[in-house]
Amino acid sequence: MTSADLDPDAAALGRKCVKCDSPGILSGIDARKAVYCRPCFVQMVKHKFRSALGKRRVYKDGASKETLLVFDGSPAAALALGQLVESKRETDHRKLMIEPTVLFTLETTDPERAGRILQRYAEIGAKLAEPGIGIPFRIAHLAAGLQKNIELEADSGEQYLGKEQIAIYERLLSAMQSTTARSEMTRLFGELLAARFAVASGIDKIWLPRTGDDLSKDVVSFFSLGKGAHTSSLISVSERRLGVNFLRPMHDIGDKEVTLLNRLEGYDERYETPDSREPLPPASIHLVAANFIDMLQREGYTATTSTLLASTAKIVDGSGKAQEYCRICGSPATQKDKNSPTLLCYPCRRLREECSEQTLFDDALGS
Amino acid sequence: MPGKSTPRIPKNYEIAPGVLRFSSTRLALPKVGATKVKKVGGSKNGGERKVVENKGPRLFPQIRQSAAVEGGDLAKTKLRKTITPGTVLIILAGKHKGKRVIFLKQLAKSGLLLVTGPMRLNNTPLRRIAQAFVIATKTKIDVSGVKLPANLDDAYFRRVKSKTRKTKEGENIFASGKQEYEVTDQRKADQKTVDTAILAALKKNPDYKFLRGYLGSRFSIQKGQFPHKLGVDMPIACSTEACTSSATIKRARDGDPVCTACFTHRFEEDVHETISSTSLFKRGERVAIGASGGKDSTVLAYAMKRHDYGLELILLSIDEGIKGYRDDSLKSVERNKIEYQLPLTILSYKDLYGWSMDEIVAKIGKKNNCTFCGVFRRQALDRGSYKLGCTKLVTGHNADDIAETVLMNLLRGDVARLERCTNICTGEDGGSLPRAKPLKYSYEKDIVMYARVNKLEYFYTECIYAPNAYRNFARDYIKKLERVRPRAILDIIISGESVAIRKEVAMPVLGNCSRCNYISSQKLCKACLLIEGLNTDNLQLGTKKKATTTSAQKTGCKSEGEPCECRGDQDGVTVENNNSGNDDAIDRCQDSLNDLNCSTSTRKKKPISFEATDSEATAQDNKACGCDNDGGAAKIDF
């Protein structure tokens, strides 16, 4: 399959690359906007990745270079890892000067599936350990996020962190009364794991593998969960919460661009891990929101993602500057929430109400 | 033995109560059965004795054998009253556990029940089963016309034991292997005969269509159900405290099961809570109710009449001039006027702007017609309210509408509207007629149910010009969301209420239209712009944003009118219609939940002097905003 076959919509337009005179054969979500030749396309996507961090000066002005990449096996994570590896190999002055650590995350509790995923992670880890790259990594189950202080022994003998917490993790998820609540808990566990691991490792910045399309779907689902006030920060490129900086370098990159770049650069074969993430459960807000955005884009409203992200960037919490924070997700607690005895933000309070074992919820997720 | 003294009963006979108490000696049971004379030995024994030929079991000779055991007595195997031929039984044990079968007859010898699926419906063949292992349902099939083959008896169903021969020494005892059961041809023929007759009987039943599915489905116990309470109606109690009635309605807002009276009461309490907690009205105010004849405005008028808010209520209806839609809904409004004894004022587009919607659609086609309708209606409601001397306008926007609007504003990038669209009352900061939404937290489903429970008549049809509105996408999403998580509708509203716009975001400044003096952030308000376009045949005026030549050529953008990055689309997108099916069209178009501005509004509002005057006569002469074809129109204050 040639590059021209990767994006038939763009190739069919028969236009020239917007940056050079070569035939335009690749494009983003909307081929009518701009088409690129292969090298320009690769450069465009990589530039978007780096400029998302560069223009916010995340690594400038003496800021720490240590970064934790949360790798979940998705195409976005593969692209991010590919960029990290590439940056380690670069020798020119434009080298991305960061000191990365990779955290491979495991979501499933099915032993057979976990075994396959761990094997794949081991293969990827072996590549990261090659001379000239030398990126350290650890593997952790989402259940490890339940540990308030993650202990990072050099060699504990365990294949991955969080094995002992899986039972509580499963029990907590089973206690949630709806699939939406379970999905939301899983997402929270992912954030808690990343934050607590980073704090334990002394790392200040975390790369989250979320593309622009993922974030636009998050906007809709966050609004549907009552998180409107916090949405802006939860989908922004840089966000300070839970004692760390969450970075989303693929904020301006769509799923199509990620897929194409992974194919062109070989990241899909090297780093993508099939079946590593649980599919969105049916009858959950997250799936309904994702299908809604996909449907709008199919109907021709191709600017949906960019418009959602742009409009969300313009809004803030209307209750003013926060002085206290939710003890689970770290989002600012509003005036009403402050009156709550458990000091949770509204969405987390709703989540707690949907747990049939609230004592377990409080013990497991308390600060 | 007669004459013998009674055996001494030990003090602890409780330990073995049956052994001594009921021994044959103690009971001196009479001998039964035929006797014979038997010679006995011993010279002093009399030489002969009468003995019973068949003594029966050694222990407990008088205990009746279970009728369920083969060889038992049918006369003593009583069927439960609920089990009669044709009764549908649920099998509780065995291979066919959970299946629903039809009882045919009780077998004579064993007393077991003969049942059949029929085989075609649930794969249950003719078989015997004890009544202890079935639940009898209330469903009965008339099998009086079914003639069962005479050979269906206990012997027919008896298991045939294979004759085992003694194995010779050294022979492999497992050589014969396990014998599989084979259905005989006789059995197949009998099954077919019986099932044909049963199916014919089923077809005669008026519920045949449902019986097929019923017999084909399996029985199971759900959470909260108990076998001993099956067949007994278990009404769900009304969730309202101190109410002992049975629940008949499930509230969409919180899922509580309630009786009809409590549903009405709680709905009205919720609306009252919304009004009182936000101090929406002041006593003595003159309030216009935007009435379209649909369910929302009908319920709103009814609910507001029910509670004494000390208001002077007036129904205000807008006639867009859509034949087959609005003319019918206005009849509903007329009925509301009579039933609620409220004054009614109707304003028409034709009178106000010189154009009816039918004429507009005939001119512009079926695209963007909702833009015109929404803009005109917003102004028309304000004009009418001012004309009537009202200080406030209330509309029937419900929770579903507001959630859709939040979502739409988010999707279209209209952050200014997003900020204010969840306000319960807009325009209170001066410069426009305040608009309130008392049904803000009421779910659409609850409104429909309230109208039905209270037998309110309303108009229900979809606007004929609104098939493909963008709002339909948002509505579809909200409906799916409600199915998954009903609470999400309120959560979207809460999300909308909690957001504010960043200070650094530039917002348009509010002013007045240079022609009609209506609030506008542009020189001409949207209504004047649209009418100008209609009158000058420039149909794109006010409906499409002009793309700059440079950007269009560079990007080849062909997204006509849709938000597009290459144009840096920011402005309020062309208004949307949304006269969707289901309800009143009052101000539903064009994000009509917010301010009265024709485009985007602003936080930096100038004080506006805005007087209500009688504009109708002027409008008839000058067409709407007073603009005539050459554009040099006099200003009209309205």
Tell if the CB–CB gap between B481 and A295 is shorter than 8 Å: no
pLDDT band of residue B19 (cuts 50, 70, 90) is low
Map residue B465 onto helix, strand or coil.
coil
Task: Give the per-residue pLDDT at B631.
Answer: 32
pLDDT 10s digits, A28-67:
877 788 889 899 999 999 999 989 988 888 888 788 889 9
Distance between CA atoms of residues B102 and B410, nearest Å? 60
At B177 the pLDDT is: 63
Query: B115: which strand partners?
Result: B103, B127
Please count the helices (runs of H) and the strands (runs of E) in chain A.
16, 9
- From B418, B419, B420, select the one nearest B407 (Cα to Cα): B418
Nearest to A75 by CA among A257, A245, A297: A257
Q: What is the DSSP letter of B74?
A: G
Closest CA to B480 of A364, A137, A292: A292
Say what the pLDDT of residue B11 is: 53
Chain A residues near residue B500 by CB distance under 8 angstroms: 315-318
What is the rounded CA–CA span in Å between residue A15 and residue A31?
A: 10
| Nearest partner of B237 among B215, B205, B262, judged by Cα | B262
All residues at 6 or more sequence positions from B21 whose CB lies less than 8 Å from its CB, including other chains? B9, B13
Nearest by CB: B501 against A289, A303, A315: A315
Q: Which residue has the higher pLDDT, B241 or B4?
A: B241
CA–CA gap between residue B468 and residue B173 (Å, rounded): 80
CA–CA min distance A290, chain B (Å): 11
How are beta strands B249-250 and A35-36 bridged, if at all?
A: unpaired
User: Using CA atoms, how far apart are residues A319 and A338, in angstroms rounded to an integer?
Assistant: 12
Residue B438's pLDDT is 94
What local confidence, expressed as pLDDT, does residue B58 receive? 61
Q: Which of B92-106, B400-414, B471-485, B573-587 is predicted least confidently?
A: B573-587
Cα nearest neighbour of B501 on chain A? A315
The string of pLDDT tens digits covering residues B265-291 is: 999 999 999 999 988 898 999 999 999
- Shortest CA distance to A68 belongs to which of A242, A251, A195, A249? A195
Is the Cβ–Cβ distance between B569 and B600 less than 8 Å?
no
Tokens of B512: 């007045």
| pLDDT at position B23 | 59
Q: Please list every residue in chain B whose beta carbon sits closer than 8 Å to the beta carbon of residue A223.
A: 406-407, 410, 491-492, 495-496
Rounded average pLDDT over B232-239 = 72
**Res B378: pLDDT:** 86
Tell me whether A321 touches chain B (CB under 8 Å): no
Interchain contact, A229 vs B495, CB within 8 Å: yes
For residue B488, give the nearest of A285, A301, A334 by CB distance.
A285
Mean pLDDT value of segment B368-387: 85
Q: Is the dihedral of CA B541, B544, B549, B550 positive or negative?
A: positive
Which chain B residue is nearest to residue A226, measuring alpha carbons? B491
- Interval A201-216: pLDDT, tens: 999 999 999 999 999 9
Statement: residue B541 has pLDDT above 60: yes
Using the beta-carbon criterion (under 8 Å), do A224 and B419 form an inter-chain contact? no
The answer to whether the beta carbons of residues B478 and B485 sit under 8 Å apart is: no
For chain A positions 23-62, those within 8 Å of chain B (CB to CB) are: 32-34
At residue B470, the pLDDT reads 79
Coil, strand, or helix at residue A246?
A: strand
Q: Which residues of A touch B409 (CB under 8 A)?
A: 311
Mean pLDDT score across all residues of chain A: 87
Between CA B227 and CA B137 the distance in angstroms is: 12
- pLDDT recorded at residue B27: 58
Q: What is the pLDDT of residue A92?
A: 58
Q: How far apart are CA B301 and CA A243, in angstroms?
A: 53
Calculate the alpha carbon distances from B308 to B69, B275, B305 in Å: 76, 12, 7
How far A316 CA sits from the closest chain B CA (Å)?
Answer: 5
CB neighbour list of residue A154: distance below 8 Å, 6 or more residues apart: none
CB contact under 8 A, B411 and A225: no
How much is the average pLDDT of A241-270? 93
More confident residue, B313 or B234: B313
**Strand B344-348 with B312-319, pairing:** parallel
What's the one-letter identity of residue A30? D
At B244 the three-state DSSP class reads coil
Compute the distance between CA of residue B154 and CA of residue B549 in angstroms, rounded to an integer: 95
pLDDT at residue number B589: 35
Q: Which of residues 474-513 of B touch A (CB under 8 A)?
A: 477, 480-481, 484-485, 487-488, 491-492, 494-502, 505
What integer is the mean pLDDT of B160-183? Answer: 67
Find the radius of gyration of the CA atoms of chain A: 21
Residues 246-285 of A with CB under 8 A from B: 283-285
Give contacts of B556 with chain A, Cβ < 8 Å. Answer: 15, 32-33
Considering only CB atoms, B564 lies closest to which of A303, A316, A350, namely A303
Per-residue pLDDT band for B607 (boundaries 50, 70, 90) equals very low
In the predicted model, is pLDDT for residue B626 greater than 50?
no
Q: Do B499 and A318 make contact, defined as CB atoms within 8 angstroms?
A: yes
Question: Confidence class of residue A152 from pLDDT cuts 50, 70 and 90?
Answer: confident
Taking 90 as the threshold, does the pLDDT of residue A101 lie above it? yes
To 10 degrees, what angle do helices B444-453 and B399-412 make? 160
Residue B554 pLDDT grade (very low, low, confident, very high; cuts 50, 70, 90): very low
Percent of chain B with pLDDT over 90: 25
CA B165 to chain centre: 67
A 323-362 near B (Cβ less than 8 A): 334, 346, 350
Separation in Å, CA of A59 to nearest CA in chain B: 25
Of B513 and A13, the structure prediction assigns the larger pLDDT to: B513
pLDDT value, residue A309? 94
Rg (C-alpha) for chain B, rounded Å, is 42
* Of B593, B192, B596, B573, residue with least CA distance to B385: B596
Residue B71 has pLDDT above 50, yes or no: no
Determine whether the interchain pair B495/A306 forms a contact, defined as Cβ–Cβ distance below 8 Å.
no
Burial class (CB in 10 A: 0-12, 13-18, 19+), A233: middle
**Shortest CA distance from B468: residue in chain A:** A299
Kindly report, residue by residue over B472-530, the tens digit of the pLDDT: 899 999 999 999 999 999 999 999 999 988 888 887 777 888 888 887 888 888 888 88
- Over the stretch B122-156, which tens digit does the pLDDT of each residue have? 889 999 999 999 989 888 888 888 889 988 988 89
Report the share of chain B in percent with pLDDT over 70.
Answer: 70
- A159 or A203: which carries more pLDDT confidence? A203
Q: DSSP label at A332? A: B
Does B555 contact A32 at a Cβ distance shorter than 8 Å?
yes
Q: Are the Cβ atoms of B498 and A318 closer than 8 angstroms?
A: yes
Tell me if B497 and A301 make a contact (CB, 8 A cut-off): no
β-pair partners for B36: B51
Beta bridge partners of B312: B286
Q: Assign A155 a pLDDT band (cuts: 50, 70, 90).
A: low
Between chains, do A180 and B496 touch, taking CB under 8 Å as contact? Answer: no
The pLDDT of residue B610: 30
Rounded to two decimals, the ipTM of the complex is 0.92
* Ramachandran category for residue B417: left, alpha or beta (phi over 0 → left; psi -120 to 50 → alpha): alpha
Q: How confident is the model at residue A336 (pLDDT cuts 50, 70, 90)?
A: low
Q: Cα torsion for B76, B80, B85, B87, to the nearest 10°? A: -160
Q: Considering only residues 164 to 223 of chain A, which have any Cβ-Cβ distance to chain B shorter than 8 Å?
A: 178, 180, 219-220, 222-223
Proportion of chain A above pLDDT 70, given as a percent:
92
Mutation for B interface: A19, A27, A29, A33, most B CBs within 10 A: A33
Predicted pLDDT of residue B189: 92
Q: Could you tell me if A292 lies within 8 Å of chain B, comparing CB atoms? A: yes
- What tokens were used for A64? 């720490």
Phi and psi at residue B461, to the nearest 5°: -165, 165
Confidence of residue B622 (pLDDT cuts 50, 70, 90): very low
Predicted confidence (pLDDT) at residue A197 exceeds the cutoff of 60: yes
Compare CB distances from B413 to A283, A302, A307 and report the shortest one's residue: A307
Q: What is the pLDDT of residues B297-352, one digit of tens each?
A: 999 999 988 888 999 999 999 988 888 777 778 888 888 888 888 999 998 888 88
Is B586:B377 a contact under the CB 8 Å cutoff? yes
**CB spacing of A228 vs B498 below 8 angstroms:** yes
**Token pair belonging to A341:** 């005895």
pLDDT at A93 over 80: no
Longest Cα–Cα distance of chain B, Å, equals: 152
User: What is the pLDDT confidence band of residue A71, given thresholds at 50, 70 and 90?
Assistant: very high
Q: Do A228 and B488 touch (CB under 8 A)?
A: no
Give the pLDDT band of residue B630 (cuts 50, 70, 90). very low
B561: number of CA atoms within 13 Å, CB side?
12
- Using DSSP, state whether A277 is helix, strand or coil: coil
Q: What is the Cα–Cα distance from A2 to B19, expressed in whole angstroms?
A: 96
- Separation CA B124–CA B147 (nearest Å): 19
The SS3 assignment for B87 reads strand
In this prediction, residue A343 carries a pLDDT of: 80
Contact assignment for B491 to A226 by CB distance below 8 Å: yes
pTM of the model: 0.68
* Phi and psi, residue B420, nearest 5°: -105, -5
Decide if B413 and A223 are in contact by the 8 Å CB cutoff. Answer: no
